[in-house]
Structure 1
Amino acid sequence: PKNQVYPEELVIPAAARLLGRPVKWAEDRREHFLTTTQERDQVWDVAAAVDDDGRLLGIKGTLIHDAGAYLPWGIIMPYISATTLPGPYKLPAYRMAVTIAFTNLVPTTPLRGAGRPQAVFAMERLLDAVAAKLGLDPAEVRRRNFIQASDMPYDMGLTYRDGAPVMYDTGDYPDAQAKALAAAGYDDFPARQKAALAQGRHIGIGIGNYVEGTGLGPFEGATIRILTNGRVAIYTGAAAAGQAHRTTLAQICADELNIDVTDIDVVGGDTGVMPRGAGTYASRITVNAGSSTRMAATELRGKALALAAAKFDVKPEDVELTHGAVRIKGEQGDSITFEELAKMTSGMPGYALPKGVKPDLEASGYFTPPQATYSNGSHVAEVEVDPETGQVTILKYTVVHDCGTIINPMLVDGQVQGGVAHGIGNALLERMVFDADANPLTTTFADYLMPTAEIVPTCDIVHMESPTPLNPLGAKGAGEGGTIPAPAAIVAAVENALSPFGIRITDCPITPQRIVELINAASETNQEDR
C-alpha cells in the first residue's frame, strides 16, 4: 500500500534534518514481513436458495474479516467484500453478517482488489456448488442468473463505500461470459478432458465473473499549460507507480489539442504546482484524472482558438488546431504555432496581444464523479494437475475485460496481464503462515512464494467496451480486474481437474501440499464408505 504512512517514513527525514546528514533506512525481508501490512484473510460461510432451474432466490451468510492488531483503514475492506459478493447476478434477497476480528497479526490494508477477490471467490464457488447439486453446467447456472444489458442502470439495493447506491451503470454480463467461453474453447473442453484422462492426465476448466466499483471520488484535478517553447505541460495530483498515467493523460490531452504525445510533459504528485489531488488508488485515475485532463484540455483548446482568431481577425470557428499550431481553415490558411501563441501571452518583447484578449494559455479542470462506475469481466482458466505431487500448471487463461471506453488498449492489456499474475499468486502460492504462538514461518521469498514468468501464461485478452455516461471519457477503472476473479477461476479449474477424486475446494491458496491432502482425505473417505 502506498497511501498510508509508516513511522520510519517520518522519522528518517526528521532525523536527516536534525543531523544535517543523509539518513538511510534498511530492513531485511523478515523485518519487512513483521512490520508492514497484509490483506486477503477472510472466512466466509454462505448458503444459497435456488429454484429447480438454478435461479437464485437468495443468499445469506457470515463474513469474518481479520483486521490485524488495529484499524488504519476502518471497515473498508470487509464492507467492499460484502457489497461485491452479488456480482453480475440478480439476487432477490441478500443478507451478510460481518464480523471484524482483531488479531495479533499486522494490520489489514487495501491490496490490489481490496476485499473483492474474496467475495468473488465465495460467490463463484457457491454457484459451482449449485451447478453440482442440480447437475447443471456451471456456465449455464451463471447464464440463468445474469443481470441483462437491458436492465441497465441496475440498482443492487446496496450502498457503496462512498455512500452512493450500488448502481451498475453499463455492461453486458451475458455477452462477456459468452465471449470468454468461446475464446477459451469451452464447448470443446469435455472432449479434451476425456481424451486427457484416457492418457492419465487431469485437466480442468473454471469460470470467474465479477463486477467492480471503480473511479472512486472525491475528485481529481489537472492543469494544462502551453509553454513558451511550444510544449504542453500537464500538472496532476495523480502520482504514477508503474501504471503509465503519463501516457494515458498525455494521450487524452493530445487528442483534444491535436498534437503529438511526445510534445507533452506530465508532472504528477507535485503539490507545489497542483496542491489538491486525492491520489492513485481504487482504479480511479483514468476516470478522475483522465476526465479532469479532458476538461482542462477542452477549455485550453477554446482559449488557443480564440487567441489565434483574434490574432488573425477572424471568428474562432474559422480556425483549427493542427500539429502544434492554429491555422485559418483552408488549404492556404495562415497559421501560428503554439510557441508563438505562448510568447504572445508571456509579455515577451516583440509580441503583443490583440486588443481585449487575456494573456491566458492555461486551463484547470476538476472532476468529481457522481458515483462509482462499474467495470466487469469474465475469466476462464484451464489447468492441469498432477495428483501425485499436487503441481498445478495453467495451460490457458482467457480474459474478457470491460472497462468502458479504452484510451490505450496496450496499457489495459498490461494491467490485465499483471493483475492475473497477482491473482495466480493468490490462488496457488501466496500465504503468510504462523505457528501457534503467532510467530511467522514464511519470512523469506524461499518460504513465501510468488508467481514467476515460469508459471504465468500469456493471457488471451478480449476487450469489450460499454462506455459509462458518468464521466466525459466514458471510461472505467482497469487496474484491478485482472486480479479479482482469478482465484475463483483457477481453483474451480483445479477442482474440475480432480473431479474423479470427488473433492471440493473452498479455500485458497490451493498449494501442492493442500491438493495432496485433499486427495488423500477423499481416498480415505471412499475406502471407509466401501
Structure 2
Amino acid sequence: MTTTAPRYIGTSLLRKEDPALLTGRATWTDDIAPSGTLHMAFVRSPLPHARITSIDTGEAKAHPGVRAVYTAEDVDHEFLAGIPCGWPVTEDIRIPDHRPLARGEVNHVGDGVAVVLATSAAAARDAADLVDVEYEELPAVVDMADALADDAPLVHEELGSNHCYTWPLATGDIDAAFAEADVVVSGRYLQQRVIPSPMEPRAVVCVPDPVGGGFTVYTATQVPHFVRDLLAAVTGVADTKIRVIAPDVGGGFGAKLNVYAEEFLALVLARKLNAPVKWTETRSEHHQATTHGRGQIQNISIGATRDGRILGMKIELLADMGAYLQLLTPGIAVFGAFTFCGLYDFGSYSFTCRGVFTNLTPTDAYRGAGRSEAAYGHERIMDDLARELGMDPAEVRLRNLHPKFDEPRTVPSGVQYDSGDYETCMRRAMELADYDALRAEQKRRRAEGGPVQLGIGFGNFTESGGLSPSKVAAGVRLQSGGWEQATVRMTTSGKVEVVTGTSPHGQGHETAWSQIVADKLGVHPDDIEVLHSDTLIAPFGRDTYGSRSLSVGGSAVHLAAGKVLDKAMLIAAHLLEADEKDLEFDAGTFRVAGTSGPSVTIQQVAGAAALAADLPEGMEPNLTADSAFDPPNFTWPFGTHVCVTEVDTETGFTRIRRYVAVDDCGVVVNPTIVEGQLHGGIAQGIGQALYEHATFDADGNPTAGNLASYTVPSATDLPNFELDQMVTPSPTNPLGVKGIGESGSIGSSPAVVNAVIDAVAHLGVTHVDMPATPQAVWRAIAEARRGDNRASAEQNS
C-alpha cells in the first residue's frame, strides 16, 4: 500500500486549546467546589529550624466554620509512608523522613505544622492564624559549603551529616589531559535558586465517592499518573479506587512535576471526614512550600591547547537539596552530568556532584532541569577560555564542535547524542545576528569611550530530551520517564478519538496530536478528539516533563494510528475485493493503485468495522488500537542563541537590544507551537540571568517571599525574539522529533550573562553572577576599576 506525504505535520494550525482559554471557559482546579467542600489552610513554620514544643489548637477549633484541626500526631497513622523520593541516585544516599506534617521538628520556613479544615477558605485561613505553636529555635545552615563543615549544624540530626550523596562520572584520562594542556582555565559559577511562579498556583480537590468508596482527585499537576500511584502507595488506598484528573493547568515549569504534602493530606482527610477537601496555594506559600529550582555551586576547569582545542573538562558541583528530598530532588544536578560537555568534542571528562542538605525549601525540577545548569557552566567557561587565549569566543567554539552526524555519536560524557549539525546551526545564528558587524560596532564604541557599551554573548547547548528510555545506562537510577501509551479509535461515524498518557499544561498536545493522526489516517484535525489528563480515561501513562511528550507520547500516538490504518487497509481490500498490496491510500480514501475504479473512504471502513456485517474472516469489530513506545535513547535537541546587550557602565543597567536563536528540535509538527515554547523558555532564562533570585538571610529566613520582592520579568522587560529553525531528524523515534519545551530556557541564560560580561570585559570585568542586576554589574565595574587603580599605584610606587 502506498500513502501520500504529510499534509498537516509542519503546518501552523491554530491551537484547539486556545478558544476556551481566551474566552474564560477553561476549568481550573480552583473552579471546582462540590457541595459540602471543606477548605484546607496550613499553619507553616516561621522558623528555618526548630523543635516544636507545643501546639494549641483550641481557639482555632472554636472559630466559626471550622470542622477540624489536625497536627502530625492526629494524622500520621493514616499514612503507610512519608513523602517519597523517586530518584535515589546512589545506593548510599541519605534520605530523611519527610512527613506531610512536621513531626517534632521543622526544617525550613514554610514546613507544614498543622492543617485547618473549614466551610470556607477565609474561615480556614483565619482559624490557622489562631493556632498557637511554640518552638525551640535551633541553629540553621544556609550555605552549602558551610553545611559540609565538620562543626555545621545538622539539618537532620539522625542522618549524622548534611552530606546527601556523592555521584561521580569519568571518561578518559583527565589527569593526562590537564598535564598535556598549554592552558588551564578555572571558574566558579553560581546557579541561584529560582521560584517557578506559574500563572496558576498549585491546587487540589479530593472528592470521596459515597457509593463506590473511591476518590476523585482534581489537581493542578503535570503528572496525574504519578499522583495516583504515589497516593496509593503512601495512603494504602488501592490505585483502582483513585481517579486523578488534571483539569486545565496554568503552567508548571517543573513545580507541578511532584506529589506534595497537600495532595496526600487532601486524600487522607477526605477519607477521614467523608467530605470533599480543597486547598488552593497562596503566592507566599508558593515561595515557601513549593519546590525551588537550581541551587548549585559549579567549579569547572578546562584544559586546552594554545590554539584553543579542548583536551579535558573537570566539573565539581555542590547541589542544594534544601531540607528534604522531593520526588526528583537528588537527580536534577546528576541529570546535567551528561551535557556539561555541551556540543564540544574532546577526550577526557570528569564530573562529581555532592548533594547537600540545608534549612531551605526543597529544590527539584525547574524548566530545563539539570541541562540549563550544565549549559550555563560550559558556556561561561568557554568565554573564559577565549579571554585567556585572546581569541574570539565564536572561534573557540567553532574549533571544538562535533562534526555533523546523522547516527548516534558517543560524546565526552559517555552517552550517545542522536544526531546533530552544530556548525551549520552556529554559523546560521551568527549570520542572522550579523556577527562581524556587531564586533565592529563594539570596537568602535570602546574606542569612543562612551558610557553605553555593546556586548555579544553565545549560548550553545544540547539537552537530553525525551526523558527516556525505561532502562537508562551510565549509572542513572532513573525511576521516571520511559515508555508512553496511546490509544487511537475511529467511531462508527468516522470521527477519531485519541487517548494519550501525556498530560499537557500549555504545550498544545490536542493540536499537535491531531496533526499527527490526521496525516496518518487522512482525516481533518477538526474530526479528532484528544483525551488526556484523566487516569480513568487514560489509565496508563508517564505524563509530561523533560521535553518527552512529543518524542515519546507523540510517537505512541503515531504508532497506534498506524495500527488502525493497517487494519483499515485489510477491511478496505476486502470491501473492494482487491489485494491489500495493490491499494493506495490518499487523503483518506483507499483505491487500487493506478486506477480510477471503485474506492472506499476510511470513514466508510470505520462504519463497516463497527457494524461487523462484512469483515474478513476472523477479524474483530471496530477500528481501534493501542500502542506503547519505549525509545532506545534520549533525544538531543540543540541550538545556538546569540544575545546582544547594551550595558550602561555608569549605572550597570542592561538592555537586551537583540536576541537571535537558531534551534533544532528535529521534525517540527507545528511551527507556531515551537515558537511559543521558545518565547516562554527564553523569557524564563532571561529572568534568571537578569532578575530572579530566591534570597534568604544568613539565618535561613526568606527575603523574597512574594512577587513584590521576587522580580519576574514582564513583557516590557523582554526584547523581540528573532527565531530560526533547523531540522536534523532524530533516528530514535518514528517521527524524527526531539522536543522544544525546555530549549529556550537552556540556551538563554548563558547567552545573556556572557553578553553582559562581554560588554564590560575591556574594563577588566571577567565575572558577574546571576542575576546580573544593575547593582551587581555596577559593583563589578567599580571593583575592576579599583583593581586597575591599585595596580597603577603599585607600579608608580
Instruction: For residues 449-468 of structure 1, give each alpha carbon's deviation from its aligned partner in whole angstroms, at most 9, with x where no partner exists.
Output: 11211122221111111112
Cα deviation, residue 14, structure 1: 4.2
Q: Give runs of aligned pairs for residues 67-106 of structure 1, distance below 5 A.
A: 67-72=321-326, 73-106=328-361
With 103-112 and 74-83 compared, the bigger mean Cα shift is at: 74-83
**Other structure's SS at 2:279 match:** coil
Q: Is the 8 A contact 1:230 1:337 kept in 2?
A: no
**Other structure's SS at 2:628 match:** strand
Matched AA of 2:573 = A
With 328-337 and 442-451 compared, the bigger mean Cα shift is at: 328-337
Instruction: For residues 52-96 of structure 1, give each alpha carbon's deviation from its aligned partner in whole angstroms, at most 9, with x where no partner exists.
Output: 101111122421111111222253112122221111111212222
Question: Relative to 1, partners in 2 of residues 1:92 and 1:116: Cα closer, same or farther, differing over 3 Å?
Answer: same
Q: Is the 8 A contact 2:757 2:768 kept in 1?
A: no
Check if 1:277 corresponds to 2:541: yes
1:432 to 675, 689, 694: 694
**Other structure's SS at 1:241 match:** coil
Q: Which residue of 2 aligns with 1:65?
A: 319
Question: Relative to 1, partners in 2 of residues 1:25 and 1:195: Cα closer, same or farther, differing over 3 Å?
Answer: same
Q: Which residue of 1 aligns with 2:485?
A: 221
Instruction: For residues 111-135 of structure 1, give each alpha carbon's deviation from its aligned partner in whole angstroms, at most 9, with x where no partner exists.
Output: 1111222221121111111111111
Task: State the TM-score, normalized to the length of structure 2.
Answer: 0.63
Question: Relative to 1, partners in 2 of residues 1:322 and 1:97: Cα closer, same or farther, differing over 3 Å?
Answer: closer
Q: Is the 8 A contact 2:768 2:780 kept in 1?
A: no
Check if 1:202 corresponds to 2:450: no
Question: Relative to 1, partners in 2 of residues 1:464 and 1:32: Cα closer, same or farther, differing over 3 Å?
Answer: same
Matched AA of 2:693 = R
With 7-16 and 243-252 compared, the bigger mean Cα shift is at: 7-16
**Other structure's SS at 2:428 match:** helix
Q: Which residue of 2 aligns with 1:161?
A: none
Q: Is the 8 A contact 2:451 2:648 kept in 1?
A: no
Cα deviation, residue 356, structure 1: 4.5
**Other structure's SS at 2:463 match:** strand
Check if 1:242 corresponds to 2:493: no
2:423 to 174, 199, 208: 174
Q: Give runs of aligned pairs for residues 328-347 of structure 1, distance below 5 A.
A: 332-347=596-611
> What CA distance in whole angstroms lies between the structure 2 residues aligned with 1:453 and 1:382?
18
Q: Is the 8 A contact 2:550 2:738 kept in 1?
A: yes
> What CA distance in whole angstroms lies between the structure 1 residues aligned with 2:757 and 2:550?
37
Instruction: For residues 140-177 of structure 1, give each alpha carbon's deviation from its aligned partner in whole angstroms, at most 9, with x where no partner exists.
Output: 0111111111595321253xxxxxx5101210111111
> What CA distance in whole angstroms lies between the structure 2 residues aligned with 1:212 and 1:219?
19
Q: Which runs of 5+ in 2 are unaligned?
A: 1-254, 469-481, 793-797
> What CA distance in whole angstroms lies between the structure 1 residues aligned with 2:572 and 2:352?
63
Instruction: For residues 411-451 of structure 1, give each alpha carbon's deviation from its aligned partner in whole angstroms, at most 9, with x where no partner exists.
Output: 11111121111100110111011011100000111211112
Q: Which runs of 5+ in 1 are unaligned?
A: 159-164
With 394-403 and 317-326 compared, the bigger mean Cα shift is at: 317-326
Cα deviation, residue 509, structure 1: 1.4
Cα deviation, residue 337, structure 1: 4.3
**Other structure's SS at 1:454 match:** helix
Q: Is the 8 A contact 1:215 1:287 kept in 2?
A: yes
Cα deviation, residue 195, structure 1: 4.2
Check if 1:512 corresponds to 2:774: yes
- State, as a whole percentage, how many aligned pairs show the same letter: 40
Q: Which residue of 2 aligns with 1:162?
A: none
Q: Give runs of aligned pairs for residues 288-307 of structure 1, distance below 5 A.
A: 288-307=552-571
Q: Which residue of 1 aligns with 2:400?
A: 145
> What CA distance in whole angstroms lies between the structure 2 residues aligned with 1:497 and 1:9?
48
1:49 to 303, 310, 315: 303
Cα deviation, residue 26, structure 1: 3.6
Instruction: For residues 392-416 of structure 1, give each alpha carbon's deviation from its aligned partner in whole angstroms, at most 9, with x where no partner exists.
Output: 1111111111111222222111111
Check if 1:125 corresponds to 2:353: no
Check if 1:412 corresponds to 2:674: yes
- Larger-Rg structure: 2
Task: State the TM-score, normalized to the length of structure 1.
Answer: 0.93
Q: Is the 8 A contact 1:222 1:366 kept in 2?
A: yes
Q: Which residue of 2 aligns with 1:29?
A: 283
**Other structure's SS at 1:379 match:** strand
1:39 to 290, 293, 300: 293
Matched AA of 2:429 = A
Matched AA of 1:463 = Q
1:261 to 491, 512, 525: 525
**Other structure's SS at 1:188 match:** helix
Instruction: For residues 213-265 of structure 1, give each alpha carbon's deviation from its aligned partner in whole angstroms, at most 9, with x where no partner exists.
Output: 11122101111000112211111101111001111111111111111111111
Q: Is the 8 A contact 1:205 1:497 kept in 2?
A: yes
> What CA distance in whole angstroms lies between the structure 2 residues aligned with 1:157 and 1:60?
11
Cα deviation, residue 28, structure 1: 2.7
2:370 to 107, 115, 132: 115
Cα deviation, residue 282, structure 1: 0.8
Cα deviation, residue 344, structure 1: 2.6
> What CA distance in whole angstroms lies between the structure 1 residues aligned with 2:263 and 2:399?
51
Question: Relative to 1, partners in 2 of residues 1:59 and 1:318: Cα closer, same or farther, differing over 3 Å?
Answer: closer
Instruction: For residues 302-357 of structure 1, give each alpha carbon's deviation from its aligned partner in whole angstroms, at most 9, with x where no partner exists.
Output: 11121122122222244444555545556754344444433333348xx5445544
What RMSD, in angstroms, separates the aligned Cα atoms of the two structures? 2.1
> What CA distance in whole angstroms lies between the structure 1 residues aligned with 2:785 and 2:412?
45
**Other structure's SS at 2:347 match:** coil
Q: How many residues are paired up?
A: 522
**Other structure's SS at 1:467 match:** coil
> What CA distance in whole angstroms lies between the structure 2 residues aligned with 1:213 and 1:268?
25
Matched AA of 2:775 = Q
Cα deviation, residue 139, structure 1: 0.4
Cα deviation, residue 3, structure 1: 2.8
Instruction: For residues 494-518 of structure 1, give each alpha carbon's deviation from its aligned partner in whole angstroms, at most 9, with x where no partner exists.
Output: 0111123211225211112211111
Matched AA of 1:177 = M
> What CA distance in whole angstroms lies between the structure 2 residues aligned with 1:356 and 1:513?
76
Question: Relative to 1, partners in 2 of residues 1:152 and 1:131: Cα closer, same or farther, differing over 3 Å?
Answer: farther
Q: Which residue of 2 aligns with 1:467?
A: 729
Deviation beyond 6 Å, 4+ runs, structure 1: none
> What CA distance in whole angstroms lies between the structure 2 residues aligned with 1:144 and 1:353?
63
1:382 to 644, 651, 655: 644
Q: Is the 8 A contact 2:407 2:731 kept in 1?
A: no
Cα deviation, residue 19, structure 1: 4.2
